[in-house]
Amino acid sequence: MTWRSPTDALNTLQPATHSISGDGSQTDIDRWEDYTQMSVDPVDDCTFFYTNQYMKFDETNDTPNWSTRIAKLKLSNCL
């Protein structure tokens, strides 16, 4: 995830932050964003919550296993 603050130079973004790496990728279906959402915390308007599915690989069954992750991002230089 990355963002641009009002005080940043034009055509620049803040350094990206990473939530989690999955063990696989979905290449045969183009509907992965069905289960994703980002919302802002109305208390401070600087904290964002992002949820999405990701793939963990189950080595015991040799199959993919879909999981959900919720990430929290607070803008460090929020006005």
Domain boundaries, position 40: 32-74
Domain-embedded: residue 9: no
pLDDT at 24: 63
pLDDT at 68: 83
Domain-embedded: residue 1: no
Domain-embedded: residue 4: no
**pLDDT tens sequence for the chain (79 residues):** 788 877 889 999 888 877 766 666 666 766 666 778 899 999 998 899 998 877 776 767 766 677 788 888 888 777 6
> Which among 36, 1, 35 has a CA at the least distance from the CA of 15?
1
pLDDT at 33: 63
pLDDT at 35: 76
Domain-embedded: residue 16: no
Total domains, the chain: 1
Domain-embedded: residue 5: no
The single-letter code of the amino acid at 17 is: T
